[in-house]
Each structure stands twice: as C-alpha cells, then as structure tokens.
Amino acid sequence: MENCGIKGIPEFNFIPDFSFSLEVERTVKANDREYNEKFQYADNRIHTSKYNILTFLPINLFEQFQRVANAYFLFLLILQLIPEISSLTWFTTIVPLVLVITMTAVKDATDDFFRHKSDNQVNNRLSEVLIDSKLQNEKWMNVKVGDIVKLENNQFVAADLLLLSSSEPHGLCYIETAELDGETNLKVRHALSVTSELGADFSRLAKFDGIVVCEAPNNKLDKFTGVLSWKDSKHCLNNENIMLRGCILRNTSWCFGMVIFAGPDTKLMQNSGKTKFKRTSIDRLMNTLVLWIFGFLVCLGIILAIGNSIWENQVGDQFRTFLFWNEGEKNSVFSGFLTFWSYIIILNTVVPISLYVSMEVIRLGHSYFINWDRKMYYSGKSTPAEARTTTLNEELGQIEYVFSDKTGTLTQNIMTFKKCSINGKIYGEVHDDMGQKTDITKKNEPVDFSVNPQADTTFQFFDHHLMESVKLGDSKVYEFLRLLALCHTVMSEKNSAGQLIYQVQSPDEGALVTAARNFGFIFKSRTPETITVEELGTLVTYQLLAFLDFNNIRKRMSVIVRNPEGQIKLYSKGADTILFEKLHPSNEDLLTLTTNHLSEFAGEGLRTLAIAYRDLDDKYFKEWHKMLEDASALMDERDERIAGLYEEIERDLMLLGATAVEDKLQEGVTETIASLSLANIKIWVLTGDKQETAINIGYACNMLTDDMNDVFIIAGNTAVEVREELRKAKENLFGQNRSSSNGHVVFEKQQLELDSVVEETITGDYALIINGHSLAHALESDVKNDLLELACMCKTVVCCRVTPLQKAQVVELVKNYRNAVTLAIGDGANDVSMIKSAHIGVGISGQEGLQAVLASDYSFAQFRYLQRLLLVHGRWSYFRMCKFLCYFFYKNFAFTLVHFWFGFFCGFSAQTVYDQWFITLYNIVYTSLPVLAMGIFDQDVSDQNSMDYPQLYEPGQLNLLFNKRKFFICMAHGIYTSLALFFIPYGAFYNVAGEDGQHIADYQSFAVTMATSLVIVVSVQIALDTSYWTVINHVFIWGSVATYFSILFTMHSKGIFGIFPNQFPFVGNARHSLTQKCIWLVILLTTVASVVPVVVVRFLKMDLCPTLSDQIRQRQKAQKKTRPLRSQRPQTRRSSSRRSGYAFAHQEGYGELITSGKNMRAKNPPLTSGLEKTLYNSTSWIENFCKKTTDTVSSFSQDKTVKL
C-alpha cells in the first residue's frame, strides 16, 4: 500500500532515535518487548493516588503548612522555646499543633489509602496475554506495549488496543463506551482485513511482527491516526480500528488486540485530571485574616514595646536597686525588644490553635450528619450518602454553579415505549370513568401480555385500546407495528435458555422493537437480504431490497422491502420536522392531528419519531436501484449523489403516526432542578451524548422550556465560525434587551466587559447549547471570554459531545474567571476529571462503576439527594461555621485584649492579667464545648423550611455570614467587651475597701473578678447566639460555667497549694473574693454593660429589617402548621412555534454493515424462499387472545377515527 498521506505521519523507512524525551510519534512492534523497551514507554500500571510511603510526610506537611495558621503556630512555638521572652510554657502550643497536624495527616492518609486500594484492584485484574505462542494470565499492570491481548465477551479493555481479529465475521467487534463518553449504545470496531485472517490461531498471532507508527499519546477520544507496516505493505489506521481502555467488549465472543498505549498514556487516563488539594473559601479567607491578625498583634506589640522602653527609661531606674541589677545591665531599648516578643506570645490567643481543632471537629460532626441522614439513604441499593472528605462541608452552602453529567446522573438510561399516535388516535393514555385523562398509578392494571409467549416480561403498557385494535385487525395499527419490526438495525439471538434477546445499537430502537414484539409483531432474525418477522403467530420473511441509513443530516432511516405478496414498500422513521416535509399532500388532516399529538408528547419530555411509509412501483424501484448502484461506483461526489437519490425516493410518504419513548429521568430530578434554580444555582449539563438527546432531556427536566426567549445553538466547525456564532448570539441577546430598554447601549463595550452588572441588565431566559467540536475552538484563549460571558448570561447551558477533559476545562473556566464556587456531579469514569476540577465533586453510585465515587468528595445514589445535600446540609454547615467563627473571634478578642489594657498599668512588663492556668484552660475547657455545640447542632430554620424556601441559600453564595466586614464587626465587639471587662472592675476597685474593711484592689482579686466576668459574659453571649436549643447546648453552656467555678475553687484551695505550692499561688483568693457582694455587683455590671448593647441592636435589626431567615423562624416559633407550596415557574408555551421532541441515539454506518452482511454470523439458510408465509403454530396467540377475551367489541366500534 502507498503512503497513507496522514498529516504528521511520514514515510517510515527510518532508524528510530531513542534519545528524545518528548514523544512526538509512537513506534510499536508487535510481540517484541525488547524492541519496545528501548523507547521507555509507560507500563500499564495506573496511579490516581497522591502519596506513597516515602513522599507522604514531606508532601503532606508542605500542604498543611500552606495553611498560614499552621506556619504561624510553628513560629510561636519557636518563640516560646526562648526563655528570655516566653511567659507561657511551650507545651501549650506544641501539643495542640501536633494534634491538628496528626489528625489532618491521618485523614489524608486514609483518603489516599482508598485511592491506592482502588488502583491495586484495577492493576491486579487479570488479562490473557500471548507469550511464547501461549496464552498466559498476566496482571494488567504487567501488560506491555506491543503485547497481543485476548479479550472475551463482557470484559473490560485493559489498554488502548489495535484490533487484530475477532470471533465475528470480517473482524468486527462491538464495544460499550459508557466509561469514556457516558453512552451505552454499542459501537462497532473492525480489524484490518490483513489481520482479521489471523483469527484465533496462536502460532500465526505469535509470528505477527507488524510495526505501528502512530500519533503520540493524547486525550482525543474520537481521533486516531497511524500506519501499520507488515509484509512489505502499509495500511492506514483510524479510530474505527482502536479499542480504548475503559470500554467493554459486548456481543463478541472473543477478540485479539495489540497494545498501542498503556497505563497513563491511554486516552482514558489522559482525560483523567490530577487529584488536587481542595480548600474552602473560608479556609482561604482565614489565611488572609490570620495574616491581618498577626499584623495587628505586631502593631500592639510595637506600641507596648515602645511603652516599655519609655517606662524603663523614666521609671524603671528606680527599681533596679531592689532587683540587684548592675548599672547598664538592662538597656531600655533591649528591654523593649524583649517585651515585644513577650507580648506577641501573650497576645497570640486571639487565634489559638484550638480554633483549628474545633473547626476540624465541627466538620467531622457535619460529615457524620450527612452519613446518618436517612432521607438521603437509597433503599433500592442499600446505599447511604457518604461524606468522603471532612474539609469541604461549609463550601456546600456556597455553590453557584452545578456541572452535571446526563446519562446515569439525570437519567436512568432506560428507554421505555410510553405512547404512540396511530392514524390520528393516541394510545398510551389512561382515562377515568368520566373519560378524563388521568395519571398512571399503581392502581392501573397493565396490559396482559401473557398470551404472547415471546413477549418481553419487563415491558408495561397501560392503555388496553391498542391491544384491542390489534385484536380487531386495524390495518393501520398492523402497518405501524410492522414498520417498527422492520425499520431498525437491531440484531437478534437466543440465549442459553432459548429465549429471544435483542442486541441493540441504540436504546431507542430497542424500545420500539420490543413494543412491536409485545403487540404481536416479533422481529425474529435477519440476513443481509432478508428480515423475518413473526406477525401474530405467523412467520413472514421480507426481502430487504435497500437500507437507507441514518445520519445526523438526514435525521431519518428507511428500509425498502418486498413482502410475500410481491409488493414493494418503503418504511421510514425519523425527526418529525424532516419527515413531515416528505409527506403526500393528502395527509394534511392527519398531519394536523399528529402534529398536535407530537407537541403534547414533547411537552411531557418524551423522545418522538414520526412514522411513514410509501408503496413503490416495481419498475420505478428497479430504475432507482440501478441509479443507486451507479452512484455507489462513483469516485467523485459519491455521497452527494447517493443522498440525492435517497431524497428522491423518500417523498410522497403516507403518514402512519408517531412514537413517544421516555428516556427515564431519575426520580425527583425535575423537582430538584427547579428547587436549585430558585436557590440561584445555575446548572450546566456536560454530556458526551448527542445534541438532540441532550436537548430532549433538557426539556424533560424543565431546564429548557418553551417560554424561553431564545435558545442559542453553537455548532461551528472552525474557530472563525464559532467566533461568529458567539458574536451573533450575544448581539441577539443584547439586541433583544436593548429593544426593551432605552436603546442607548454600546454593544462593543458590553462585548469586552465581563461583569455581573451586565448580567443584571439581561431580562428574560436564555439557553446555550454547544457541541464538543465547537467547544474545542471556543476554549481557545481569544474566544473563551466571549463564550463565558454568553454562557453566564444564560439560564441553562448544555454542552454535548464533550470529552472528559473538555468537561474539566469548562469547570476550570468558570472556576477561574468567574471566581465562583463550583460543584460537579457524575457517575462514570468520564466524569472523574470534572469531579476533581470542581471545588466540590459528587459521585453517584450508579450503573457505570465506582470510579466517580472514588474520585469524589461526596457520594450518594440519586441525583435528587443533591437538593438536600446543598439546601439543608450545605446551608446548615455554612451557617454553623460562620456563627462559630464570629463567636470564636469575639470571645478571644475579648479575652486577649485585656492584656493590652493591663500593660499600661503594669509598667509594660508582659505580666499576664489572669492566672496562668486560666489562660491555659480558657479555650480548652471553659469555652470550648459551648461553641462546639453551637457549631455542630445550631440551625436557624428546620430542614423542611430549608427545602421549602430555597432563597434561604443565597446568603452563602453572596458570602454574607462571614466575611472581612463581619470579622471587623466581631473584632470591634470583642474590643468593646475587653474594655468593659477591664475598666469597670478597675474603676470599681480603685481605692475601695471590702466589707471586712480590707483593701480588695490586689492583683489576684482583680484577676479572679475579671476572669469570672469574662466566663459569664461569653456564656450569656453564646446563649443569645444559639438559635436551636438542645439538651447538649444546655449541658455544655451551663456546665462550662459550673466547671469554671469548681476548677477555680479547687485551684485556689489549701489542699492543692500544699501539693504544688509553686504552681498554684492564688491560695484562698477565690473564696475571699467571691464571698463579697460588691464583687458580684461588679460582675453583674460588667455583664450587663457587655451584653445589653448587643441585645438592643439585634432587637432593632430584627424588628425594623428582618431577614427571610428571621421571618421563617418567627413562623416556626408560632408553630404554624400550614406550609407554603414550593413556588415554581409557570410553564406557559409559546403559541408561535412548535418544538420537536425528536431525539435518536442511533449511529451512522449500521445500514451498510447490515446490507454487507459483515455483522452476520454464519447460520443455516432459511427454509422459505423469502416470499412465502409459513404458519408458525397451529393456533396463533392472537387467536388465543380472542378466545380469552370476554369483552364485546361493540364499544370499540364506536371509536372515532380520522377519515382521510
């Protein structure tokens, strides 16, 4: 064979150079590992884990110390190890720091352990490899490039293989690519004719020494270019010859393939994103705040250090005599320097490490709530919801964009024949006694197909009228069902039990052929020249004269058959918008009726096909067939001539009716999408499925509606076309809005501006639909801003025919350029990359394996649980974490800044105002449990109200509950409280004697009074902050106060002083201070002064401008039983246009396979000549049905039919 002329593939008469590092093209020799090892190609082992034993510690510590707080605490620990400046012991910092780092490391190690476990499971799968002319079982990870691998039916493909031979005629095999693109319809791959002759002969396969030169590893799933050189000839290779890793072999007993790409070089792994270190927006904000706080502490430290230097210079000299210091031993500047570091250590409790310990505990608690939620438990598969990470919970309350897969996520990927329109009459609806249409419920009896021994037992149909029409011999119904049994690409075979089973290339066809089967028109078998159908118990063999295949331009398929009577008929099915243009003018009345029925079907989200036929004259057909043969022999314009002949014969059709197939949505999908939309969450669908199918599901889910202002479809094949289509769409969008506004809009300026202000000026609902080829161009640097601007102004975005990597790129685009919190949800391996790319990844444990679940942060069994995950658990987690942080910063500013005020009265000596044990226990014991209880259990409204009012979710998206402004408010609140805590007792004790006449203004009594005031104030404050009281809240809050007093009296007792005299110097002080009434009055005054302003402000705010949460909480308190109905958008239809519900998953090329006979197994020739009817049974099942039926037929004779 001559050079294939493939771009980038030169003539291959060369000596390979093994010195290159970046692979430009790949050279692989079959059955020669030694030759291939020179190129150092990757083996077939995969790694999705982040760490190994050697790298875990350094990488994990590096990741953890990226958190500014951890680095901050490490710095403080180093300071505390210096005795000259430390007034606190070092273990108060090192123990909690090590605890936090250890807890996080254990969690990360556990997560990675499961990734290793998953990798090992895949790497240790067994595959049959041809070694030394024998098949040997090898683990997947030991398969090498160039090996010959044997696959058997229903096995996963171990690596990217060049198909050499198979059990099917002409080297064909069938694969399912659900793991790659989400599609479950079968695809055909075929071997080259020169290699298909190798068959299963081990000796010939072992001698095969062909050399493949092909493209370098890449992520393009639908493209492959290469050349096979063997026996002095060269053969072009394309994607049809390649079986990709992740596919499953179907309907093929065995096949042999040669490994081209292995492990990380396979297209599946090239499309799999890297595991990323995810942090929440609150974590990132905390990093900033910690830096600000540290800067604030440095400022305070500088002020106190300057004060210390001045004090030492002016006053300190008088004390040096008493301290036995030599003159000049302590310089005032050096003293200030040491004081600065001492105060940095003392004041570090503004951000204690217990803050991060508490955050991890709260997140862990929230994760368990998700795991334990029975309302997210799917009993069908005994699958609970699972939080697979504990660090991202509050991010669930801030989601702005959801990126969803379609197949298996929104849909069950099960096609069901639901309704049909035949000769102007709808079948499939259920009516009540009054003749009114009703919904189908469990009470409705399905049609009894038991009289048909070959009926599919899983098929259900609830309208008995269609079976009665069959029984009455309605010719139009017969012709309709006959068409469904003849016009398709389904293959039939019998299983081990002798039952007839269908192998379908698309699930749509399977549903239609199964429906015809159950109503008595059973497709039995086919050869390249014939189709055999059992019609109501009688075998009828039709001669297949021509197959007019489906493609995306024609949007229809037709067969031309000759029946036993010698009549030639053309049967056609396809998109109504196309087929209706081909109808004979006499169909006008029926066309109107059928059009109305199709609109009704489309409105219900059903996938529709129009059905029509034509009687052909024998002479005309022979002339047409001769022209078709001539056109097929042409070298130039062959496809155009054939398409023209197809158009010529597919005209003057007679309309039979239409079918309506349901692509079953998962339960609750529509309600979930409606609820999330009300929560201002935008949902984008990213699917590998066809455009028509994706659009149809969009309508079924109510993501696309007929009342939308416009639906933009971007389908350009070049960058220029895509740019122009985007420009026109934006012009149209802005133009429509200009017409409804003042008209003074400069489009060029808006085109360049990516701003939310522009979004707000857009009125009306728009949708954007873009395919994978166009998306590849749109993601280029000079176009992606236009794409993003247009997409973000649309209510709904659907990306179809996208690769796994493109899914991740779309997520990254929105994530980086919109600065929005994203969530990706999917169920297959093709969704892994976008799950890893998004801020939150959700895996659905569905039909397509566990790869998505293993890569996810959260998992559950049904899409509908996403509503509860976000609106309840996500919102509560965000609400609780924000409340926790606000309170924590408040209580620690109040606690810490007292030291600052005290510094002005203690000579800036870095003397602590509290007892050292109080400082140690304040965050660990006295205030830790109440704030944990609030952070874990608090809720502003109930879970049901959270679901009923999706608008409650918006504060999280706008980041209103904890931000820089909220932080400064908490900081100001804490500073005010610290002022009250210090100066009220100071003023009260100034020159005052106690009840016993003794002076009470000593340091220890002052410290006890302030500490007691602080504990009571922060306890009252958290009681005011708590919205949802539980027994645990009461026990923790009031128990903490009681614990404080019990520990206080214990540490100030004589007994403990006798044991540890150096550690507990405040002996007897608590009893002495707290038995005096004036002390309690000071504590009361301090508490009132600290709390009353907060109560007043909150009361006025709630009374004058209550939030939605406040209003709903008031209703809850009033215990109103009436709950509002969930608001939904009215689904009004535009009267000006009709939407087609056409969607068909069929692939082009099957017609040629069928007529060529390449996909036919060798069978015994049929006994009939193909033009005879053979009685199948002495008594047909339809006759049995007639005997079984006791109802009279008179009632059915009154049914109105359309007269043409």
Catalytic residue ranges: 405
Could you give the CA distance from residue 341 to residue 338 in angstroms, rounded to a whole number?
A: 5
| CA–CA distance, 6 with 575 (Å, rounded to integer) | 36
Burial 798-816 (b: 16+ CB within 10 A, else e): bbbbbbbbbbbbbbbbbbe
Using DSSP, state whether 322 is helix, strand or coil. coil
- Measured CA to CA, the distance from residue 990 to residue 983 in angstroms comes to 10
Check if the beta carbon of residue 518 is closer than 8 Å to that of residue 500.
Answer: no
- Which one-letter amino acid corresponds to residue 969? I
Strands 556-562 and 568-574: antiparallel
Tokens 């987690």 identify what position? Answer: 877
Q: Is the dihedral of CA 1080, 1085, 1090, 1095 positive or negative?
A: positive
**For the stretch 1043-1070, what's the b/e string if a residue is b when 16 or more beta carbons lie within 10 angstroms of its beta carbon?**
bbeebbeebbbeeebeeeeeebebbebb
Strands 187-190 and 254-261: unpaired
Q: How many angstroms separate the CA atoms of 470 and 483, rounded?
A: 14
d(CA 27, CA 214): 7
* Residue 572 contacts residue 613 (beta carbons within 8 Å): yes
- Chain position carrying tokens 């015994």: 1164
Identify the DSSP state of 383: B
User: d(Cα 476, Cα 422) in Å, to the nearest integer?
Assistant: 7
| Antiparallel, parallel or unpaired: β 654-665 and 530-535 | unpaired
Rounded Cα–Cα distance for residues 594 and 21 (Å):
64
Specify whether the backbone of 774 is left (phi greater than 0), alpha (psi in -120 to 50) or beta.
Answer: alpha
Beta bridge pairs of residue 774: none
Q: What ranges in 199-353 are assigned the alpha helix state H? A: 202-207, 267-270, 281-314, 332-347
Which residues 6+ apart lie within 8 Å of 1077 measured at CB?
995
The residue type of 223 is K
Neighbours of 597 (CB within 10 A): 21
**Nearest-angstrom CA–CA distance, 1013 and 1019:** 10
Q: Which neighbouring-strand residues pair with 768?
A: 712, 797
Cα angle at 579 between 484 and 423, to 5 degrees? 55
243 sits in which H/E element: strand 242-243
172-176 and 187-190: which strand pairing?
antiparallel
Nearest CA to 122 out of 855, 851, 852 is that of 851
Largest CA distance in the chain: 131
Cα 323 to Cα 843: distance, rounded to the nearest angstrom: 70
Q: Quick one: tokens of 37?
A: 């090892």
Phi, psi of 1076 (to 5 degrees): -100, 135
Report the chain's C-alpha Rg in angstroms.
38
d(CA 808, CA 831): 8
Please name which of 43, 2, 482 lies closest in space to residue 259, comparing C-alpha atoms. Answer: 43
Tokens at 663, concatenated: 């692509």
Question: Do residues 837 and 737 lie in contact, with contact meaning Cβ atoms separated by under 8 Å?
Answer: no
Q: Where are the alpha helices (DSSP H) in 319-353?
A: 332-347
